[in-house]
């Protein structure tokens, strides 16, 4: 029999992407190979996101497509995993997904080989995966950047959020397992590590004795940042997403260590205390701004991003305007702003009415977007003339111009002589673009910024790089 093939679709956050790397490893371990061609696959697996309705709608769109595919290939196995099955406690969503042969939360992915074998035993070369999917070593597609999950689930129960229902309560990985994964990444040439958790800075080690004797921090998350800083080769360290309540002075101090990026993504969600209370965010606007002030007092030029929801249940225009005021005060570098939509199974869906008009939500989103674009453009001008460190993530070949097409000789050969464009993020998570060859992908280079727009900095590679 030919080698079985699978096609994996990943929706949602970086944690889902890290989970998919573990799914890759599990399937490779039982003899599957990945394919980008869905028509060739024996197994199609969708790793779902359930944060917004639009993400769930995409899943139903995929399943409609795969239902048609199964008409010509009835032996095709279709699986749905991730956050959507995790929150489907009463099976109501499952009933709408008749195309799916397999339907399971992320934590049960270790059972995937057995379930495949029950349907098509000829596909699987058996392997004992174990009980904890986080023990599976991810199958990395690239080693220059690595995502390391240190925590799954959440204990905060924000009223708008499905995560505690989709992923369960907070579970922290052992320090020994985390550091083993980080060291393995470094051994394969990884330069940048991002630590992942739902409230990542609430991390509490299950094996604190594994912290080094010389570790200066009592706060477990700060201590973990210190440990990662000691790993040779890891020169860029980031984490997402922290909660304001756990931004201790020790965590902020650890962010000054050499490897840490000059950026933090710190969700606020709203700027009005009554709205924050209904969201069960457990902090006030003043407490959030105090964290921002403490960050900037210790790291003056740090870039700060956030998440904001506009139009939450009962939010008046005046309450929204307090969010806009907080934005002006915090001067964020970027905001991922969402218009509130009800998520079934959440406390907000049970307790509150989604009573903000759709057009009003659109107005608030546009209003905040205008504030964001003005502030980030103003802030980005400070980078002009400065040199920033960039991890090159991708390369774009030059497009042929009319002048090139008129040049004598082979157009492909002429294009090959041009460097093209490199793109990557600075340590402030600013997208940087500069002329360069594709051999720079994966390298960390210095770029002198010549022009700053809202969402991109243009420059030239420094001769010292």
Task: Supply the DSSP string of 114-173, one letter for each residue.
Answer: HHHHHH-GGG-------S-GGGSPP--S-SSEEEEE-EES-S---TT--HHHHH-S-EEP
pTM: 0.88
Nearest to 47 by CA among 8, 92, 21, 89: 8
Type and span of the H or E element at 458: strand 457-461
| DSSP-derived pairing of the beta strands 145-149 and 192-196 | parallel
| pLDDT tens for the 465 residues of the chain, in order | 689 999 999 998 889 999 999 999 999 999 999 999 999 999 999 999 988 788 888 999 999 999 999 999 999 999 999 999 988 888 889 999 999 999 999 989 999 999 999 999 999 886 656 677 788 878 877 779 999 999 999 999 999 998 998 889 999 999 999 999 999 999 999 999 999 999 999 999 999 999 999 999 999 999 999 999 999 999 999 999 999 999 999 999 999 999 999 999 999 999 999 999 999 999 999 999 999 999 999 999 999 999 999 999 999 999 999 999 999 999 999 999 999 999 888 999 999 999 999 999 999 999 999 999 999 999 999 999 999 999 999 999 877 666 656 666 665 555 556 679 999 999 999 999 999 999 999 999 999 999 999 999 999 998 765
Which among 310, 306, 318 has a CA at the least distance from the CA of 359?
A: 310
Question: At 307, is the secondary structure helix, strand, or coil?
Answer: strand
CA distance 81 to 98: 14
d(CA 311, CA 305): 20
Yes or no: say if 45 and 74 are a contact pair by the CB < 8 Å rule.
no
Cα-atom radius of gyration of the chain, to the nearest Å? 24
How far is it, in rounded angstroms, from Cα 424 to Cα 216? 33
How confident is the model at residue 401, as a pLDDT?
Answer: 63
Give the 3-state secondary structure of residue 38.
Answer: helix
- SS3 call for 239: strand
CA nearest neighbour of 80 among 52, 110, 54, 60: 60
Predicted confidence at residue 415, as pLDDT, reads: 55
Going along the chain from its start, the domains and CATH numbers come out as 5-133 (3.40.50.12160), 137-381 (3.80.30.20), 384-461 (2.40.50.140)
Closest Cα partner for 178 from 199, 206, 145?
206
The pLDDT, as a whole number, for residue 88 is 86
Cβ neighbours around 326 below 10 Å, total: 21
């Amino acid at each position: 029999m030919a080698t079985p093939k699978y096609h994996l679709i990943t929706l949602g956050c970086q944690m889902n992407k890290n989970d998919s790397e573990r799914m890759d490893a599990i399937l490779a371990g039982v003899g599957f190979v990945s394919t980008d061609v869905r028509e060739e696959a024996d197994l199609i697996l969708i790793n779902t996101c359930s944060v917004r309705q639009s993400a769930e709608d995409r899943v139903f769109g995929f399943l409609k497509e795969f239902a048609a595919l199964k008409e010509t290939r009835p032996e095709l196995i279709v699986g749905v995993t991730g956050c959507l099955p995790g929150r489907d406690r009463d099976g109501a969503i499952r009933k709408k997904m008749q195309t799916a042969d397999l339907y399971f939360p992320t934590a049960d992915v270790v059972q995937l080989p057995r379930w495949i074998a029950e349907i098509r035993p000829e596909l699987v070369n058996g392997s004992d995966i174990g009980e904890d999917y986080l023990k599976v070593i991810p199958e990395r597609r690239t080693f220059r950047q690595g995502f390391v999950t240190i925590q799954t689930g959440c204990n905060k129960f924000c009223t708008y959020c499905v995560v505690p229902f989709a992923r369960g309560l907070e579970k922290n990985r052992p320090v020994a397992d985390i550091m083993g994964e980080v060291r393995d990444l470094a051994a394969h040439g990884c330069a940048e590590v991002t630590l992942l958790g739902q409230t990542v800075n609430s991390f509490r080690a299950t094996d604190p004795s594994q912290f080094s004797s010389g570790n200066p921090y009592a706060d477990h998350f700060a201590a973990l940042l210190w440990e990662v800083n000691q790993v040779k080769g890891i020169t860029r360290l980031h984490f997402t997403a922290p909660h304001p309540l756990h931004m201790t002075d020790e965590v902020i101090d650890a962010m000054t260590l050499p490897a840490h990026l000059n950026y933090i993504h710190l969700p606020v969600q709203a700027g009005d205390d009554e709205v924050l209370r209904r969201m069960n965010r457990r902090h006030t606007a003043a407490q959030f701004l105090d964290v921002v002030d403490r960050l900037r007092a210790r790291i003056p030029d740090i870039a700060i991003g956030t998440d904001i929801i506009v139009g939450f249940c009962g939010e008046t225009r005046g309450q929204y305007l307090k969010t806009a005021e907080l934005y002006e005060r915090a001067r964020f570098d970027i905001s991922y702003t969402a218009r509130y939509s009800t998520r079934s199974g959440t406390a907000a869906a049970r307790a509150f009415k989604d009573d903000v008009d759709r057009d009003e939500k659109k107005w608030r989103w546009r209003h905040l977007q205008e504030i964001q674009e003005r502030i980030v453009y103003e802030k980005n001008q400070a980078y002009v003339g400065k040199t920033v460190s960039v991890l090159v993530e991708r390369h774009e070949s030059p497009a042929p111009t009319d002048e090139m097409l008129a040049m004598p000789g082979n157009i492909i050969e002429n294009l090959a002589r041009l460097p093209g464009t490199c793109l990557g993020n600075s340590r402030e998570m600013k997208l940087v673009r500069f002329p360069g060859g594709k051999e720079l992908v994966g390298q960390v280079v210095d770029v002198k910024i010549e022009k700053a727009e809202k969402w991109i900095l243009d420059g030239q590679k420094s001769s010292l790089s």
